[in-house]
Structure 1
Amino acid sequence: GIADIATFGGPIKQFQILTSAERLRKYGINLQDVIAAVERNNQNSGGNVIERGGQGFAVRGLGAIKSVTDIENIVLTSVRGVPVFVRDIASVEIAPPPPSGILGYTFKAEQIESNSGTEGIILLRRGENPSEVLKLVKDKIALMEENELPEEVKIKLLYDRSFLINHSLETVGETLFAGVSIVVIILVFFLGSVRSALVVALTIPFALLFAFIMMKVAGIPANLLSLGAIDFGIIVDGACIMAEHLIRKYRSATPEEKEQGIIKITLLAAQEVGREIFFSITIIMLAYMPILTMTRVEGKLFSPMALTLAFAVIGSMVCALTLIPVLISFAYKKALSNLEKPVPHRKNPVLNWVEEKYEQFLQVMLNFPKTVVIVAFTVVIGLISLAGKLGTEFLPELDEGSIFLRCFMPAGVTIQENAKIAPQIREIITKYPPIDYVITQTGRNDDGTDPFPTNRTEILVGLKEYKLWSDTIKKKDLVARIQTDLQNHFPGAFFSTGQPIIDQVMEIVTGSAADLAISAVGDDLEFMRTKADTIAEIVRNTQGAVAVNIEQEGEQAQLAININRENAARFGINVSDIQGMIEAAIGGKIISKVYDGTKRYDIVARFLPESRNTVEAIKNLQVPSASGAFIPMSQLADINYVEGQTNIYRINGKRMVTVRTNIRGRDQGGFVAEVSKKIDKTINIPKGYKVIYGGQYENLERAGKQLSVTIPLTILLVGSLLFSLFGNTKHTLVTMSCITFALGGGIFALILRGYHFNVSAGVGFVSIFGISVMAGVLLVSAIKRTEEIHRGTLKEIVIIASVEQLRAILSILVVAIVGLVPAAISTGIGSDVQRPLATVIIGGLTSTLIFAPIVIPPLFYLTERKRYEKEQSANAPTITL
């Protein structure tokens, strides 16, 4: 399950050949001669096979370097018949190269402190289960400590994902348990029978078992993303409709119907609502289609949830249409065997009172159907219009139970100087009581996959469990205090804050971990840097901007060796010869390797520090000419200090300079709109240059475009399914009006809780479209069914059907609402993404619960009144005189 292991910090073993121009010139050789000799004398060879006594022996020439002595004894040349060895012109030693990264850490509870540790960063292979791989890694480490490492050497686990995984699963477990408990209680209230409620509740384990089997097949792990937003109320909706309808039929059964047997009654009753259940749940599944089309970060976050919910509702549908009728019939078999005595049931005075008042309400409202519909839709449109007050963001601020900071010292600071500051940073942070540990990483890892400059330090802050904190401080306040404290202690540095996992993901996906990255793209770096400075000033003066800076370092002092080609040619020296001298003598060149079993160590040739660490020393470097004479570097190149870029970032082949900022206290969409307006007004962008907006805002923009296409298509598909169910355009539109009720309620709920519209909330809106339509399906289907068997006015038919179906509508919507209450109010680690989703669903279904029973009957009455009156007059008997 491991893809790779990147090391960070600690000394690396090297075989270093250190010489000087004077020692080389003494014997008339140059550094390239040394390099060539070492390369030639570090290899094994094969001599085929010799035969002896009928047996073949492989011939091997073993000449690979194994030690310092082997290098020292390599012959370079001879002077008057006396061999000149490497040891004569250089010292050979085992030493580490200059560090690319320095690791430090402080663990408060264990009182462990290190300023120069060695870290292994283990990279998980894509698609593997992190929990299983972590267990295997920890088992392997324990085995290594027991059998392979010296007693005094221990491997300390600094950070892994198990804390986040375990606490997220704990949050999920608490939410699911609370949701199931509340749903069962609500079922008992609405069904009026503990036995019936438990039968319906059996849908939950059946649906989950089916979902887990399908998740196993699809390779979806059980975690916060896949299970965190499961609404058990939605899962039991189909079963609740079936059970409520069957119980009502049992209670209203006549002696003649009872004589036909419970199987006959059950079959007929199940057939009446089976089609509605099938189409309603199919619509719920279809509503998740926009989520499944999401890509990149949002797709990884929400596709598992959509698939899991789809699997669960499929399982619940199978259970509702097959298992529930059988179990309910068993529960009422004995009661139905008595032909004269009605089926006993517990009266629910609350529901009886609600039904009575609802019937009286409809009697009045159907006298003024147009007024009711106009007023209701005016209110709904008013709620929907509040969407203009909603801010937008990609995702809510995530809480991983830790803090991640980045520190940028002034450009050009060496890694050794920067590393001196890291212990001070750890000391400042660890003085806060909630802090558990602090890990600092200065520079970059050894394999160079993270090309960070030497002035950058990443700081991972581990926190104690929240239950151990005092009530006087919250995490956001702690982060603000730490950042302010660090900024005051190091005024020349720049600090930004975030979360370790999501920041790394965003940096890989978008190129920046910031909430907003504004890049000037073009060819002239100096021009773009000027524009970037102006953009940064605009951003700093915009409300909500924090941690504003330019990501790329500016120009730094460099020692430029500008080769004079004419002078070099005059001495018969190629440019490549001079470049080779610069690379090897000054920088140090890896010329070969020493193999020790499976381990490999570099052999590096380089000049001694005193021969390369000053401008004068570099000017005096001797480059061999074609005649054999040695020419000083000062005669072959102009050597001066200049200002220049140390790194250049590109996008699509174009250079770019990026201004990054985090956004606090306002929404991303509104912030970007204000900033882009100021930039367009202030900065003139010439042809060949452009300004692009990235970071998390890039994800928001992409996800918004996807949803703006897929949601309308989904609504059209839902309409098509409803038309195939009803075969009537008016009935389809009446049913789909429930979507507007849900939309208004979801928007109002977000505003009420102070949330912005983000991808999580968008997923919530997608989810409620299917569930809200179910209420309309039940009402319209019941009215049509009643019209077929009842002879009376349309008003009477609408009232009878609506009152009869009220309990079913209340039950499916209330259980769906309360099933998500725990997720909506959860504050555990990992709950941040689920809260907006749950809030939207609760708000949308609450408004559907209020408006659907009030609006659908008058709306149906308005659309069908003329048709019904026309049919009644056509069917009226005629009298001939």
Structure 2
Amino acid sequence: TLFEGISIVIIVLIFFLGSWRSALVVALTIPFSLLFAFIIMRLTGIPANLLSLGAIDFGIIVDGAVVMAEHLIRRYKKATIEERKEGIVKITMLSAQEVGREIFFSVAIIILAYMPILLMTRVEGKLFSPMALTLSFAVVGSMLAALTLIPVLISFVYNKVVSNTDSEVKEHKNIVLDYLDKKYSKLLGGLLNNYKKTVYIGMAVVFVLIAFGARLGSEFLPELDEGSIFIRGNFPAGISIQENSTYSPKIRKVISKYPQISYIITQAGRNDDGTDPFPANRNEILIGLKDYKLWSDTITKKKKKKMVRTDLEHALPSVRFSSGQPIIDQVMEIVTGSAADLAVSIVGDDLQLMRSKADSIVSIVNKMKGSAAVNIEQEGPQEQLSIHIDREKTARFGINVSDVQDIIEAAIGGKAITTLYDGVKRYDIVVRYLPQHRANIDEIKSLLVTSTNGALIPIDQLADVSFIQGQTNIYHYNGKRMITVRTNIVGRDQVSFVKELEGKINKTVKVPKGYQIIYGGQYENLERAGKQLLLTIPLTIGLVFILLFSLYKNFKDTLITMACILFALGGGITALLLRGYYFNVSAGVGFVSIFGISVMAGVLLVSALNRANVGISDESSRETVEKVSKEQLRAILSILVLAVLGLIPAATSTGIGSDVQRPLATVIIGGLLSTLVFAPLIIPALYYWIHPTKKI
């Protein structure tokens, strides 16, 4: 993806600059910026991986250099004979000073727009903070290159041509750009003649696009493809670990028939490190997948996962299967307590009451569109062996309660009596009754305890030995008991699903005072991330406003430039709708990013208009606005097209780990395309409206 991005940027640079030498000079910004970023990453301990490098846009990195190079080349072509005689160094210095401030502030705005992303915490912070830092480091490097390296190298490229005063500096002929210039000049003239209508209609279209955002669903993150499938099988409660493990070969046989699968690992019971409190009826299946390039075009991972689950459900109808992916499932279980998309927890004291409420919620969820793999995470009550020691009876026989407990421990559980040393190794020697003497309740009742006078007393004369109904595991939340209903959500967004479910639960499931219903799982992350974005996005807009005001020193030009944020917002929303994506944290980070990037187009245009000193009369003001806007068209086209094309590989990538980057890249591309359309048309008309009689 990185190589594709660099290649696309170089080709587009040649197209816009008209010279392969100039294009290569600007392209030198990429290795310079990456080297600068890698040095800072090394110093700050940020690793180079998919999270830090996955969404780097080389088009954004070279934007400052493109603006500098394009302005210098245009200035060389306009230089008079007297200026050329004074030397290219002076022309270069004066020209670089004209746009240096704009480049500095534009890049500063881009960096500042990424800073609020660093406020994100938990999963979303881990995913996007490395990208924000890495891109900020690279953009700082590109700014240094644009302000120092590019003017020097461009002057070397054009030194011979500019110094030769006997001939003019030839202008590169580009049929496509020349055609766009003519059409734009003609269109802009008509728009400026009706500048108020232009602004009204243009902004109305933008607000309509923004209004489409109400149709966007919401989710925490898109499903991240880890290149594997993780299936959890819950056998009927009470099954032993030995019997559970006998089904593992059958499970592997059912799955292994598919050629797309490279390996299958099954694990019965809880994991080896004991971090997951799962009972003996749990069986986890990790399925490794071959490279997708080897797959048929007619099959996808989603289809394959569904086929595997269907086959397992047919082969083992009494087992409840749920599917996911190993890494994200483990992370979600640690962070929220459940790997499901949605976990509805009933918290209280009475387990029987809570179980009945959970059963009611399960029936509601099963009837809802989009629900999948619905079940209660905690197993229901099952028979347990209870040995209740009667203290009066033990005292009558002169036996201590601890003596009875020791016999039970040694006979049933096993007890270490000594240690065997083998060099540096140590082994506990454990004594335990043979299986046939502890296999049923009658054998346990006949266990003998020695009294003080040496008599052997059966345990059933000292304790009540029986089977009772009891919980296999009890989950707690803030000191209270908890039962959780889990479900995955397929084919619809999480927010609408939860709102519908919440309404149905409120109508049909009544919980007593002291009990509460909590919505968690991935939805818990979505709620937290949504609150963070509600802080991050306004903070980004506020920081951009402050920096623009420090550039212009007036509210008018600041607000004109910030109109680009609205253009980008409408385009980003439209792009998500067209690709069928939900709004998620990745898309939210994309919106934060384009708020800084899109403003660069407005800064170029408004700053150029300010430098042109729009005249007193309406006629001269209009002509100046039209002339300057036409001159800046190529610069705006180049920076926005470069930024868009540089992100296309990330937006279309299907490799492992690309799922999180695609919504982000889609939002940026859509936002920049809409800025590319609206900024050259609306900004000049808006500027002409607000500055009709600006004095020289």
Which interval holds the TM-score relative to the shorter structure? over 0.9
Q: For the structure 1 residues 732 and 593, does the alpha-carbon distance in structure 2 shift closer, same or farther, using more than 3 Å as the test?
A: farther
1:375 alignment partner in structure 2:
201
> Which deviations, in whole Å up to 9, do the C-alpha atoms of 1:574-633 show, x marking residues without a partner?
433333332222111244543434433222222232332221222122234455544321
Q: Which has the larger radius of gyration?
A: 1
Deviation at 1:731, TM superposition (A): 0.8
Q: Does 1:229 align with 2:55?
A: yes
Partner of 2:676: 849
Q: Secondary structure at the match of 2:55?
A: coil
Identity %: 67
Q: 1:798 aligns with which of 598, 622, 625?
A: 625
Deviation at 1:681, TM superposition (A): 1.4
Q: Does 1:205 align with 2:31?
A: yes
Residue 602 of structure 1 is matched in structure 2 by: 428
Tell me how far apart the structure 1 counterparts of residues 424 and 227 of structure 2 sit (CA, whole Å). 39
Paired residue secondary structure (2:268): strand
Map 1:774-813 → 2, pairs under 5 A = 774-787=600-613, 793-813=620-640
How many residues in Structure 1 have an aligned counterpart in Structure 2? Answer: 695
| Partner Cα distance (1:805, 1:790) in 2 | 22
Q: Among residues 178, 199, 215, which one is paired with 1:352 in the alignment?
A: 178
**Pair 1:493-2:319 in alignment:** yes
Q: Which segment drifts farther, 635-644 or 783-792? A: 783-792
Is residue 772 from structure 1 mapped to residue 598 from structure 2 by the alignment? yes
Query: What is the CA deviation profile of residues 296-338 of structure 1, one whole-angstrom value per residue up to 9, with x for unaligned ones?
Result: 1111111111111011101101100100000001001111112
Q: Describe the superposition over 1:250-289 as per-residue Cα deviations: whole angstroms up to 9, x where unpaired.
A: 0100011112211111111111111111111111011112
For 2:579 and 2:273, the matched residues in 1 are separated by 47
Q: Deviations over 1:173-213 (max 9, x none)?
A: xx111111111111111111111111000000000111111
CA distance in structure 2 between the aligned counterparts of 1:754 and 1:702, rounded to whole angstroms: 24
Aligned ranges for residues 242-391 of structure 1 at < 5 Å? 242-391=68-217
Q: 1:814 aligns with which of 620, 641, 665?
A: 641
Bigger mean CA deviation after superposition, 784-793 or 521-530: 784-793
**CA-CA distance at 1:672 after TM superposition:** 1.3
Once residues 208 and 310 of structure 1 are traced to their aligned partners in structure 2, the CA distance between those partners, rounded to angstroms, is 11
Q: Are 2:558 and 1:732 equivalent residues in the alignment?
A: yes
Query: How large is the RMSD of aligned CA atoms in angstroms?
Result: 1.6
Q: Is the 8 A contact 2:265 2:286 kept in 1?
A: yes
- The CA distance in 2 between the partners of 1:524 and 1:592, in whole Å, is 44
Alignment of 1:441-590 (within 5 A): 441-590=267-416
- Matched letter for residue 693 of structure 1: Y
Query: What is the CA deviation profile of residues 812-852 of structure 1, one whole-angstrom value per residue up to 9, with x for unaligned ones?
Result: 00000011111111112221111111111110000000001
- Take 2:36 and 2:197, find their aligned partners in 1: how far apart are those partners? 47
Shift of 1:349: 2.2
Equivalent residues in 2 for 1:4-403 (5 A)?
A: 175-403=1-229
Instruction: List alignment gaps of at least 5 residues for structure 2.
Output: none
* Structure 1 Cα separation of the partners of residues 509 and 542 of structure 2: 43
Alpha carbons 1:193, 1:345 under 8 Å: kept: no
What are the Cα deviations for residues 214-270 of structure 1, in whole angstroms up to 9, with x where unaligned? Answer: 111121111111111111000000000000000000010001111221111111111
2:247 partner SS: helix
Which residue, 742, 757, 761 being the options, matches 2:587?
761
Query: Cα–Cα, structure 1 residues 591 and 759, in superposed 2: closer, same or farther, change >3 Å?
Result: farther
Equivalent residue, structure 1, for 2:251: 425
Contact 2:614–2:624 (CA under 8 A) maintained in structure 1:
no
Q: Match of 1:736, as an amino acid? A: M
Q: Unaligned 5+ residue runs, structure 1?
A: 1-174, 873-881
Match of residue 618, structure 1, among 444, 459, 471 = 444
Residue 472 of structure 1: how far off its partner (Å): 2.8
Cα distance per residue 1:718-758 (max 9 Å; x no partner): 10000000000111111111001101100000000111111
1:836 to 663, 667, 674: 663
In structure 1, C-alpha distance between the alignment counterparts of 2:605 and 2:113, rounded to whole Å = 20
CA-to-partner distance for each residue in 1:410-462, whole Å, 9 max, x for gaps?
Answer: 01111111111111111111111212221111112344222221111111111
* CA gap 1:825/1:790 in 2 versus in 1, 3 angstroms: farther
- Structure 2 length as normaliser, TM-score? 0.97
Q: CA deviation at 1:790?
A: 10
Q: Do the aligned partners of 2:540 and 2:595 also contact (CA within 8 Å) in 1?
A: no
- CA, structure 1 residues 347+638, in 2 after alignment: closer, same or farther (shift >3 Å)? same
Partner of 1:826: 653
* 1:562 maps to amino acid: H
Structure 2 counterpart of 1:849, one-letter code: L
Report the Cα distance in structure 1 between the residues aligned to 2:624 and 2:409, rounded to whole angstroms. 93
Deviations 1:14-44 (A, max 9, x none): xxxxxxxxxxxxxxxxxxxxxxxxxxxxxxx
Residue 538 (structure 2) aligns with: 712
Distance in 2 (alpha carbons) for counterparts of 1:209 and 1:848: 30
Deviations 1:459-502 (A, max 9, x none): 11112222222233221111111111111111110111111221
Q: How far does the alpha carbon of each residue in 1:701-732 deviate from its partner, in whole angstroms, 9 at most, with x for none?
A: 11111110121112111100000000001111
C-alpha contact 2:614 2:621 (8 A) present in aligned 1: no
Distance in 2 (alpha carbons) for counterparts of 1:229 and 1:477: 28
Aligned residue for 2:226, secondary structure, equals coil
In the aligned structure 1, how far is the partner of 2:416 from the partner of 2:678? Answer: 76
Which amino acid in structure 2 is aligned with residue 485 of structure 1? D
Tell me: higher relative CO, structure 1 or 2? Use CA pairs within 8 A at least 6 residues apart: 2
Could you list the runs of 4 or more consecutive aligned residues of structure 1 that deviate by over 6 angstroms after TM superposition? Answer: 788-792
Contact 1:745–1:846 under 8 Å retained in 2: yes
Once residues 186 and 630 of structure 2 are traced to their aligned partners in structure 1, the CA distance between those partners, rounded to angstroms, is 10
How does 1:621-632 map onto structure 2 within 5 Å?
Answer: 621-632=447-458
AA partner of residue 833 (structure 1): V
Corresponding residue number in structure 1 for 2:260? 434
Structure 1 match to 2:470: 644
Residues 320 and 597 (structure 1), Cα distance of their counterparts in 2 relative to 1, 3 Å cut: farther
Q: Give me the whole-angstrom Cα distance separating, in 2, the residues matched to 1:697 and 1:597.
A: 54
User: SS at the partner of 1:670?
Assistant: helix
**Equivalent residue letter for 1:864:** H
Secondary structure of the residue that 2:541 maps to in structure 1? helix
Secondary structure of the equivalent of 1:557? strand
Determine the C-alpha separation between the residues in 1 that align with 2:417 and 2:683: 82
Higher strand share: 1
**1:546-571 CA distance string (max 9 Å, x none):** 11111111101111112223323333
Distance in 1 between the 2:652 and 2:624 partners? 41
Give SS of 2:691's match.
helix
Question: CA 1:561–1:858 in 2, change beyond 3 Å: closer, same or farther?
Answer: same
> Structure 1 stretch 328-337 or stretch 650-659: which is displaced more?
650-659
Separation in 1, partners of 2:547, 2:525: 32
Structure 1 residue 697: deviation in Å? 1.2
> Retained in 2: the 8 A contact 1:290–1:707?
no
- Give the aligned residue type for 1:293: L
